[in-house]
Amino acid sequence: MKIKHIVESQQFTVPLILELFERTDLMKKVVARGGTKDYEKKVMASLFYKPSTRTRFSFESAMYRLGGRILSTEQAKEFSSEVKGELLEDTIQIVANYCDAIVLRHHEEGGAQRAAAISPVPIINAGDGSGGQHPTQGLLDLYTIYNECHALDGLSVAIIGALDQGRTARSLAYLLSKFERIKLYFIAPDELQIKPDILEHLDEKGVSYQLSSNTDDIISKVDVVYQTRIDKERLKHKEIDLTKYNIDTNVLKKMKYNSIIMHPLPRSVEINPAVDGDPRAAYFRQARNGLYVRMALLTMLFDKE
Amino acid sequence: MKIKHIVESQQFTVPLILELFERTDLMKKVVARGGTKDYEKKVMASLFYKPSTRTRFSFESAMYRLGGRILSTEQAKEFSSEVKGELLEDTIQIVANYCDAIVLRHHEEGGAQRAAAISPVPIINAGDGSGGQHPTQGLLDLYTIYNECHALDGLSVAIIGALDQGRTARSLAYLLSKFERIKLYFIAPDELQIKPDILEHLDEKGVSYQLSSNTDDIISKVDVVYQTRIDKERLKHKEIDLTKYNIDTNVLKKMKYNSIIMHPLPRSVEINPAVDGDPRAAYFRQARNGLYVRMALLTMLFDKE
Amino acid sequence: MKIKHIVESQQFTVPLILELFERTDLMKKVVARGGTKDYEKKVMASLFYKPSTRTRFSFESAMYRLGGRILSTEQAKEFSSEVKGELLEDTIQIVANYCDAIVLRHHEEGGAQRAAAISPVPIINAGDGSGGQHPTQGLLDLYTIYNECHALDGLSVAIIGALDQGRTARSLAYLLSKFERIKLYFIAPDELQIKPDILEHLDEKGVSYQLSSNTDDIISKVDVVYQTRIDKERLKHKEIDLTKYNIDTNVLKKMKYNSIIMHPLPRSVEINPAVDGDPRAAYFRQARNGLYVRMALLTMLFDKE
């Protein structure tokens, strides 16, 4: 299937997702044998308007394992010392001359869409604005569930954190809604619960869900716990004890033996490092899947010709 | 022909320019077939004392398309946290151990010359000081005219902007003076007109030129409009309406059908984006030529052995 | 011999040092013929929590000459804009997914040890904290002496500077103590002399040494002068004339004809540039040896499998 740009998770249909996962499985084998040279003529530009070394390294490593090369900046705001506020469109048209794909992290919501509208080379959205999209994170999350649970249909997934602004939580809920017999649990302090637009979408798709302000009854039932962070500063009702959302070895004991714990990382206190050694702690494997999924996405863009 | 360093546009004789253009034409073909591996053992260091991502990407992409590798810094001022104000000469001698060519952007005029004086590997001046040289920009401008107009002799060229400090404008005037039957129009507010040293040089070379404070009579006559920016802050006579120097679709209507509009980019308001779609808008092709010209220059340096 | 990480100079036994030097000699030949592709599938990550372009370039060039690839950041503190103070351990576990070795410069003493304790890929300590280790510098210093003097046993070495905090001076003293009939001279203002822990170590190993506050009687006797910097600000007794520790052409006249002058660079006033042309000025050759030694170290890590 052909895709030109990767701008938002909505563009990924189930067949496209399944092709992506097939390619991702293949990329694991490619990496295991030391990478490929198939894309050695390709140059990828990392055009980051604010630093995100983790995401950048993940993409750049993906490109290297495919044999390609990297142009890289984490200070694209200082792209030119002469004209402040140069049009993103101009920048993209210039950088497109120097590479075969642009991984863009832009500070404004909609930046990736604007870039894709005029770019002659593929744009990959690596996050635009705080309320914007970060589709490759959503896809690697989905792949991790698929890979760890050997299925997507029929899963029950608890998503914990400040869900109202949780870009990754929202993306994951959206992507999971494409599959059958999914049961979602949104666990957050009431004032930070997931927004109605997602719930309306789930209603439309006939996805079963439940909202809760604590993990107690839920944690023992689910196949996947998707943990994210809650910043204390965001809470008006400061008396709320956030530790009840944390995962430690006690919580672990209540979880199903074949469930998994995920986290988009970086973590703060919400997962105790004592949990890391448990086989259900999937978050570092999840980070590694970022490499494979991004390799697969790059091949989908490059193979389109 | 052999060159050791690229420090200033003055070092380029007509035969050297013609060799460069021949190599540049060849590089277009090399890129079209996905690059070469001929220089895969070469390492180029981008040693930028202030960020200029556009110029850096252009050079680094050129190196990649030649098969080579990149060491890169945009914060060479923090080259060492220990000794502030380390001698540029020491830095060059150390970095030269780690690469086969150094692309240097230095904050002091004459920095590239000082580096070239002691460097065992080729130095390429990517801009030194605000009043200094940026020879590869001048050469790619000249190549663009040659490539778009299929000639250099006999052309009439309007250069617009704050020409007194316009590094690119000055370089281009200098380089064009090497060719036959050139007619130059310098268009600028009186107080920002091109400096006498350039005019004296043109007189010596017998090049015809005209100064003007507006584009009216000229824009319809020229083969090339080389547009640059005028910063309002530089004008003492603030009442001057700078919009009369801008290019929009109205100005476009007055221009010859086979003329071209150039701009070193980034642009601000001086070219309206509505102009971009016109085939005479050559500035993005000009940016792309930066890739080919820099590839050609690198081969001239590497092939010298 | 197998090594997993390079954390501190203490881990290098004499047989390991000799293997390193053999490999280093080989690397000189490899570079002379333009590098190798033997490690072309390897990716090295430069994870610098504070900039040190010199050290970074040295490692990255080493990796390129081995055929490998580079992920690079000099602002790892901004690794994530979301969680400040992310655990180094988490960062390492994530980055390890994207590369085959991590060159780490961390701002905290012991950072490299912590990283090595959990990293699935080799960690190379490129400096941790101001009082910490920088083992590859010590090893390249030792190699330079071996290479220039064709021996290590039986040498007399003067080490000059603010030795109490001199990381390189301390490392070198430590490494030299492993060899036979070494005579060390520590030359520093009294209040900045080498600390007792090093002297105790030398006593244990039976190494002969002498402390002095001036170079006068010593400079003509030694095979190696290892010069470092003294920051005026560190002296309480401001009346001390630091110029007496500097090396200029007058000092050069007193030195043995076959001695050498070393410096970890960057230098300030402590070596006059007029000395650079003398064949005994070995500091730029020393910087170049950094390339070969780091190549050799990388091969020792990569070949371990």
Q: What is the pLDDT of residue A223?
A: 98
Q: What is the pLDDT of residue C67?
A: 97
Percent of chain B with pLDDT over 90: 80
Measured between alpha carbons, how far is A62 from A67 in angstroms, rounded to an integer?
9
Q: What is the pLDDT of residue C84?
A: 64
Q: Which residues does chain C have within 8 Å of residue B79's beta carbon, measured at their own beta carbons?
A: 51, 53-54, 266
Task: Find the mean pLDDT for residues A11-20.
Answer: 96
Interval A144-171: pLDDT, tens: 999 999 999 999 999 999 999 888 999 9
Q: Is the pLDDT of residue A303 over 90?
A: yes
Interval B46-70: pLDDT, tens: 999 988 899 999 999 999 999 999 9
Mean pLDDT of chain C: 93
Quick check: A71 contacting B, CB < 8 Å? yes
Q: Nearest 5 degrees, angle CA C275-CA C281-CA C285?
A: 135
Quick check: C72 contacting B, CB < 8 Å? yes
| Cβ burial C67-99 (10 Å sphere, 16+ → b, else e) | bbbbbbbbebbebbeebeebebebbbbbbbbbb
User: Does B53 contact A78 at a Cβ distance shorter than 8 Å?
Assistant: yes
Q: Does residue B54 have an active-site annotation?
A: yes
Interval C33-79: pLDDT, tens: 999 999 999 999 999 998 889 999 999 999 999 999 999 998 787 66
Q: Is the pLDDT of residue C6 over 70?
A: yes
Task: Find the mean pLDDT for residues A237-252.
Answer: 90
What is the pairing mode between strands C224-227 and C183-187?
unpaired
Measured between alpha carbons, how far is A12 from C219 in angstroms, rounded to an integer?
73
Q: Which residues does chain C have within 8 Å of residue A265's beta carbon, measured at their own beta carbons?
A: 90, 94
Measured between alpha carbons, how far is B144 from B125 in angstroms, rounded to an integer?
20
Domains, chain C, ordered by start:
9-133+289-302 (3.40.50.1370), 135-286 (3.40.50.1370)
Backbone angles phi, psi at B43, to 5 degrees: -120, 130
Reduced to 3 DSSP states, what percent helix, strand and coil does chain C have, rounded to the nearest 5? Answer: 45, 15, 40
Task: Find the mean pLDDT for residues B68-90.
Answer: 80
The residues, any chain, with a CB within 8 Å of residue C220's CB and separated by 6 or more, are C254, C255, C256
Q: Which residues does chain A have within 8 Å of residue C41's beta carbon, measured at their own beta carbons?
A: 34-35
Task: Find the mean pLDDT for residues B126-148.
Answer: 91
Q: What is the pLDDT of residue C82?
A: 58
Q: In which band, very low, low, confident or very high, does the pLDDT at C85 lie, cut at 50, 70 and 90?
A: low
User: Does C290 contact B90 at a Cβ distance shorter than 8 Å?
Assistant: no
Q: In which band, very low, low, confident or very high, does the pLDDT at B305 lie, cut at 50, 70 and 90?
A: low
User: Does A94 contact B265 at a Cβ distance shorter than 8 Å?
Assistant: yes
Q: What is the pLDDT of residue A235?
A: 82
User: Does C97 contact A288 at a Cβ distance shorter than 8 Å?
Assistant: yes
What's the start-to-end Cα distance of chain B, in Å? 11
Mean pLDDT of chain B: 93
User: Does C71 contact A52 at a Cβ distance shorter than 8 Å?
Assistant: no
Q: Does residue B105 have an active-site annotation?
A: yes
SS3 A61: helix
Quick check: A228 contacting C, CB < 8 Å? no
Q: Does residue A105 have an active-site annotation?
A: yes
Mean pLDDT of chain A: 93
CA distances from C20 to B288, C2, C173, C295 (A): 46, 11, 18, 10
SS3 C297: helix
Q: At C257, list the tokens.
A: 């004809």
Q: What is the pLDDT of residue A167?
A: 86
- Output the pTM of the full model: 0.95
Binding partners of B (≥3 Cβ pairs within 8 A)? A, C
Q: What is the pLDDT of residue B221?
A: 96
Question: Chain A, 124-143: which have a CB under 8 Å from a chain C CB?
Answer: none
Question: What element of type H or E holds C130?
Answer: none
Q: Does residue A54 have an active-site annotation?
A: yes
Q: Which residues does chain A have within 8 Å of residue C80's beta carbon, measured at their own beta carbons?
A: 52-54, 266
Chain C nearest-CA distance from B302, in A, is: 13
Quick check: A43 contacting B, CB < 8 Å? yes
Q: Which residues does chain C have within 8 Å of residue A52's beta carbon, measured at their own beta carbons?
A: 80-81
Q: What is the pLDDT of residue A241?
A: 86
Interval B183-236: pLDDT, tens: 999 999 999 999 999 999 999 999 999 999 999 899 999 999 999 988 888 887
Q: Is the pLDDT of residue B125 over 70?
A: yes
Question: Chain A, 244-263: which have a CB under 8 Å from a chain B CB?
Answer: none
**Minimum Cα–Cα distance from A67: chain C residue:** C41
**Stretch among A263-277, C71-85, C276-290 having the lowest mean pLDDT:** C71-85
Q: What is the pLDDT of residue C65?
A: 98
In which residue are the tokens 């002496």 written?
C145
Q: What is the pLDDT of residue B241?
A: 86
Percent of chain C with pLDDT over 90: 80
Q: Which residues does chain C have within 8 Å of residue A35's beta carbon, measured at their own beta carbons?
A: 41
Backbone angles phi, psi at B274, to 5 degrees: -65, -20
Chain B nearest-CA distance from A4, in A, is: 19
> Do B86 and C257 meet the contact criterion of CB atoms below 8 Å apart?
no
Task: Find the mean pLDDT for residues A70-87.
Answer: 76
Nearest by Cα to B114 from B91, B138, B136: B91
Q: How many CB atoms lie within 10 A of CB A10?
A: 12
C130 versus C235: the higher-pLDDT residue is: C235
Task: Find the mean pLDDT for residues A120-142.
Answer: 91
Question: How many cross-chain Cβ pairs, A to C, lie less than 8 Å apart?
Answer: 73
Q: Which of C31, C57, C58, C128 to mutate to test the interface with B (most CBs of B within 10 A)?
A: C57
Q: Is the pLDDT of residue B83 over 80?
A: no
Measured between alpha carbons, how far is A214 from A205 in angstroms, rounded to an integer?
26
Q: What is the pLDDT of residue C13?
A: 96
| Residues of C with catalytic function | 54-55, 84, 105, 134
Q: Which residues does chain C have within 8 Å of residue A291's beta carbon, measured at their own beta carbons?
A: 97-98
Q: Does residue A84 have an active-site annotation?
A: yes
Q: Which of B90, B92, B99, B121 to mutate to test the interface with C (most CBs of C within 10 A)?
A: B90
Measured between alpha carbons, how far is C78 from C76 in angstroms, rounded to an integer?
5
Q: What is the pLDDT of residue B255?
A: 97
ipTM of the complex as predicted = 0.93
